[in-house]
Structure 1
Amino acid sequence: MRRRDRHGRGLRGPLASPNPLTGSTVRVPRRPRGVALFADCVQAAVSKGVADCPRAYVGVDIGFEEIPANLTDWWLDQVPLAVARSSAPGRNAAVVLFRRPLEHRAVNTAELRRIVHRTLIEQLSALTGIPVEELYPRVGEEDWD
């Protein structure tokens, strides 16, 4: 049984007739998109970073927001990709990545993963004072550039 692809949104309904023994149909697994995809990218960047330099992540909270909260603090032609906030009494330091500006600069998922990873490493370097080469020893490799 074939269903048509309306408006380029993918196939609607099952890909094949129901199984005569079980009655279930075959469906296409959905790939994460939007917030779920970005959360996966951030998680992968943190996992990679913790494996390379775990001391940089001690006492640092990593998170993301849609866009910077107060754009009036920035120039009209500049939108930040992330911000690093140093620790205050009773609070951890934090790196906040901004989802929409980062997604806007990526052409595909692989590039989004690279941009998120690179932005996180640069913000951690600025926050902790640890050189980028120590945070990510493979700086010159293909996935960094």
Structure 2
Amino acid sequence: MTTSGAAGGPLHLRPGRDRHGRGARGPLLPVGVPRYRTRSMAFDQLVLETYAPLHNAYFDQLSGVDLAVDTIPRMRLRADSAVLPDEIVADGPIPLGRVLEAGVDRSGNPTRARFVVFRRPVEQRAHTVEERSELITWILTALVAYYLNLDPRDVDPDFPW
């Protein structure tokens, strides 16, 4: 591509530095472009899309519940406990999701109930988008069933219990 410089002579624009022939450096899409999404943003969107049918089916009961995604589980679990509490959905000893009941925070302000899905453990267990979607569906169904005190098969008849 050639354009004219300030003096009227040709100005050659070089592509970004391409040392060692490895291709362009930096992101392919600028951050402000609508198609730009990080892995965590894509995961968040998948969680929202998976949760929407459950929220719509139990709208009145789940209207006071927030949905959150956390990178890793940050909770203190006893190392000698073989069974995790019911509010935690896990794959063996690794928590994948959790129900946080409504309560009061350290400042004395009331908090709403919250479903939390842990991104990194889910990504490590599901490698394709389809597997990830199925695993997130399983996690959210179990969390909603626990919160509503229902059997997971009542929430989703295809639940693999």
Scaled by the length of structure 1, the TM-score of the pair is 0.66
Q: Do the aligned residues in 2 keep the contact of 1:45 with 1:116 (CA within 8 Å)?
A: yes
Higher helix fraction (1 or 2)? 1
Offset at 1:46? 1.4
Aligned residues: 125
Offset at 1:93? 1.2
Alpha-carbon distance between aligned partners in 2 of 1:30 and 1:88, rounded to the nearest angstrom: 38
Q: Which has the larger radius of gyration?
A: 2
Q: Which residue of 2 aligns with 1:50?
A: 55
Aligned mate of 1:73, from 72, 77, 83: 77
Q: Which residue of 2 aligns with 1:100?
A: 120
Offset at 1:75? 4.0
Q: Which residue of 2 aligns with 1:91?
A: 111
Offset at 1:30? 5.0
Q: Amino acid of the residue matched to residue 140 of structure 2?
A: L
Over 3 Å counting, the alpha-carbon distance change for 1:31 and 1:115 in structure 2 is: farther
Higher strand fraction (1 or 2)? 2
Secondary structure of 2:154's counterpart equals helix
In the alignment, does 2:124 pair up with 1:120?
A: no
Over 3 Å counting, the alpha-carbon distance change for 1:127 and 1:97 in structure 2 is: same
Secondary structure of 1:62's counterpart equals strand
Over 3 Å counting, the alpha-carbon distance change for 1:130 and 1:55 in structure 2 is: farther
Q: Amino acid of the residue matched to residue 130 of structure 2?
A: A
Over 3 Å counting, the alpha-carbon distance change for 1:106 and 1:33 in structure 2 is: farther
Gaps of at least 5 residues in structure 2 are 1-20, 81-91, 105-109
Alpha-carbon distance between aligned partners in 1 of 2:74 and 2:143, rounded to the nearest angstrom: 18
Alpha-carbon distance between aligned partners in 1 of 2:148 and 2:78, rounded to the nearest angstrom: 23
Offset at 1:128? 1.9
Secondary structure of 1:73's counterpart equals coil
Q: Amino acid of the residue matched to residue 130 of structure 1?
A: L
Offset at 1:53? 2.8
Q: Do the aligned residues in 2 keep the contact of 1:56 with 1:124 (CA within 8 Å)?
A: no
Percent identity reads: 21
Q: Which of 92-101 and 42-51 deviates more?
A: 42-51
Offset at 1:130? 2.4
Alpha-carbon distance between aligned partners in 1 of 2:123 and 2:49, rounded to the nearest angstrom: 16
In the alignment, does 2:97 pair up with 1:82?
A: yes
Alpha-carbon distance between aligned partners in 2 of 1:33 and 1:48, rounded to the nearest angstrom: 24
Over 3 Å counting, the alpha-carbon distance change for 1:30 and 1:91 in structure 2 is: closer
Q: Do the aligned residues in 2 keep the contact of 1:53 with 1:134 (CA within 8 Å)?
A: no
Alpha-carbon distance between aligned partners in 1 of 2:149 and 2:142, rounded to the nearest angstrom: 10
